[in-house]
């Protein structure tokens, strides 16, 4: 422990944030890093706890607190404080394949469990992690690690999101020959087309993919297994197959007049903007645009927030975000103590930008859509909404959100974005491989396992656990890779 009193001597200082009205002028990342001296000071705040909850990933009160990857956080914080940046990188890479992703988009389950957070502000674990990996790239510490020995085994990974990339990286380093199949035109899955540029610059994804290619991983794009590529051929040509296709089945709205023009799933809306930027066609307007429109976003989660931020960058006339559930408290409730995940209201970057531009928080709580209203040409002009209240269901006994009688009202809208989550895997993929699914349409496996009912077919990520976080996808990819390795070699020395 470099500085035993660091947590008493120094205040928390996060990476700064570009002022909302300036950052909405483009799609650039907007959190410039601290200098090395200040970052080392922040690392000094780590208490090197006897029981580091930050790396535990414990389930408490139905929620996980701490890092699912079990990152060795106190170790690399100590290395940062002492200026041993290369050593910090070695410890970080031992458990996390892609710190450049989690350091940008992870909600920092580690910080919620930080002991410093019990009586003050937690350590800047999220920012420290990003500083380590970016310094590693800048200093040339990160070079291709090509396996010296190959096993002769071939593995196909279907899907190039965070779980697929993590699984491929692990298996390649073990010496297996890995080919990743991606149905889109670019590698990255959720990282490429599900997360906006201002949260994760696509150059960061490309940099990692290039490194993996240099290390021996093969990538095949525009390969939609079950459509333009035969699953039977994949099964015949490879010793093992890992399905990492994500929870790509978006939850729809079951409302009157659903088929009007001007309604899009959030994933399609966000992807169209990213593609336009990557293809240098944004100025031509070749994307689903919110410019000059009254936008309603259905869904109060991260994806809904991303839609709000993207719409503001387009130049929307207004934006509203509907959330079915009540507003969470601004401070921890007594029944939600540390180190549980804090169930508190978070104002994210998109909402911050809406407040700066339009003067108010875009979120309307305990509200849902009941009807879509269109003009004579079938174009959306307004939506009917209803307020909700929490009631106990007479049949199940569970608390449900129930409509408040007489609370229906009309909101003007000419663009509706559905960010209501995902139901599970795409049926055509699971049917092509013949794997069983559970009641939530996720690919079924034994508890804690990744092998499916079909011999040599495994699964990982959102396709396996349901819609979740990037950090969980990476953890799943690593765990599945270990199971695949044991299947191929009858043992595994993977961590």
Distance separating alpha carbons of residues 470 and 38, to the nearest angstrom: 28
pLDDT value at residue 3: 85
Q: What would the two tokens of residue 384 be?
A: 């009917």
Which residues of the chain does CATH 1.10.1060.10 include?
6-138
Residue pointed to by tokens 């599945």: 480
Query: Are residues 381 and 351 in contact, defined by beta-carbon separation less than 8 angstroms?
Result: no
Within 10 A of 482 (CB to CB), how many other CB atoms are there?
A: 18
Residues 218 and 172 sit within 8 Å (Cβ to Cβ): no
- Angle, alpha carbons 442-217-206 (nearest 5°): 85
Question: How far, in Å, CA of 26 to CA of 29, rounded?
Answer: 9
Task: For domain 6-138, give the fold.
Answer: Fumarate Reductase Iron-sulfur Protein; Chain B, domain 2 (1.10.1060)
pLDDT at 50: 85
Distance CA 289, CA 96 (A): 36
Q: What is the pTM of this model?
A: 0.96
- Nearest to residue 107, comparing CAs of 35, 192, 199? 199
Q: How far apart are CA 307 and CA 299, in angstroms?
A: 10
Per-residue pLDDT of the chain (495 residues), as tens digits, is 668 899 999 999 999 999 999 999 999 999 999 999 999 999 999 998 888 999 999 999 888 999 999 999 999 999 999 999 999 999 999 999 999 999 999 999 999 999 999 889 999 999 999 999 999 999 999 999 999 999 999 999 999 999 999 999 999 999 999 999 999 999 999 999 999 999 999 999 999 999 999 999 999 999 999 999 999 999 999 999 999 999 988 999 999 999 999 999 999 999 999 999 999 999 999 999 999 999 999 999 999 999 999 999 999 999 999 999 999 999 999 999 999 999 999 999 999 999 999 999 999 999 999 999 999 999 999 999 999 999 988 888 888 999 999 999 999 999 999 999 998 889 999 999 999 999 989 999 999 999 999 999 999 999 999 999 999 999 999 999 999 999 999 999 998
> In which residue ranges of the chain is CATH 3.50.50.60 found?
154-248+423-489, 263-418
Beta bridge partners of 372: 383
pLDDT of residue 396: 84
Secondary structure class of 154 (helix, strand, coil): strand
Nearest to 176 by CA among 489, 490, 491, 475: 489
CATH number corresponding to 263-418: 3.50.50.60
**Pure H helices in 139-248:** 162-174, 202-214, 231-237
Can the peptide bond before residue 339 be classed as cis, meaning omega within 30 degrees of 0?
Answer: yes
Architecture of domain 154-248+423-489: 3-Layer(bba) Sandwich (3.50)
- Spell out the SS3 assignment of 1-40: CCCCCHHHHCCCCCCCCCCHHHHCCCCCCCCCCCCHHHHH
């Amino acid at each position: 422990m470099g500085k035993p009193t660091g947590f008493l001597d120094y205040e928390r200082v996060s990476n700064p944030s570009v002022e909302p009205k300036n950052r909405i002028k483009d799609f650039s990342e907007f959190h410039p890093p601290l200098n090395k001296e200040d970052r080392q000071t922040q690392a000094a705040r780590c208490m090197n706890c006897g029981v580091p909850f930050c790396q535990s990933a414990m389930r408490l009160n139905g929620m996980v607190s701490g890092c699912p990857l079990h990152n060795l956080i106190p170790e690399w914080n100590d290395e940062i404080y002492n200026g041993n940046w290369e050593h910090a990188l070695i410890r970080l890479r031992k458990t996390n394949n892609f710190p450049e992703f989690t350091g940008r988009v992870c909600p920092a389950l580690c910080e919620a469990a930080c002991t410093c957070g019990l009586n003050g502000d937690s350590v800047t674990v999220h920012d420290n992690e990003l500083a380590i990996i970016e310094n590693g790239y800048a200093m040339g510490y990160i070079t291709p690690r090509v396996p010296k020995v190959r096993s002769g085994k071939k593995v196909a990974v279907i899907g190039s999101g965070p779980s697929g990339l993590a699984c491929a990286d692990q298996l390649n380093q073990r010496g297996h020959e890995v080919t990743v199949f991606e149905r889109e035109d670019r590698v990255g899955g959720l990282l490429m087309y599900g997360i906006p540029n201002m949260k994760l610059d696509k150059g960061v994804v490309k940099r990692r993919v290039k490194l993996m290619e240099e290390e021996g991983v093969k990538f095949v794009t525009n390969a939609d297994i079950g459509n333009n590529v035969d699953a039977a051929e994949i099964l015949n040509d490879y010793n093992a197959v890992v399905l990492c296709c994500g929870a790509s089945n978006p939850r729809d709205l079951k409302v009157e007049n659903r088929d009007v023009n001007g309604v899009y799933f959030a994933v399609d809306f966000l992807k169209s903007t990213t593609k336009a930027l990557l293809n240098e066609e944004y100025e031509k307007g070749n994307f689903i645009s919110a410019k000059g429109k009254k936008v309603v976003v259905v869904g109060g989660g991260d994806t809904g927030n991303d839609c709000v931020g993207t719409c503001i960058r387009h130049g929307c006339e207004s934006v509203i975000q509907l959330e079915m559930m009540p507003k969470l408290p601004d401070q921890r409730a007594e029944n939600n103590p540390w180190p549980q995940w804090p169930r508190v209201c978070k104002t994210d970057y998109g909402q911050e930008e809406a407040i700066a531009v339009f003067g108010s928080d875009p979120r309307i709580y305990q509200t849902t859509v009941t009807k879509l209203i269109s003009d004579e040409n079938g174009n959306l002009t307004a939506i009917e909404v209803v307020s909700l209240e929490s009631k106990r269901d007479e049949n199940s006994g569970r608390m449900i959100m129930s409509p408040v009688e007489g609370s229906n009202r009309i909101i003007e809208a000419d663009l509706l974005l559905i960010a209501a989550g995902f139901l599970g895997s795409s049926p055509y993929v699971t049917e092509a491989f013949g794997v069983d699914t559970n009641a939530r349409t996720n690919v079924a496996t034994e508890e804690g396992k990744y092998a499916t009912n079909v011999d040599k077919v495994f699964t990982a990520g959102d396709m396996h656990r349901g819609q979740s976080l990037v950090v969980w996808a990476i953890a799943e990819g690593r765990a599945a890779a270990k199971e695949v390795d044991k299947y191929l070699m009858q043992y595994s020395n993977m961590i």
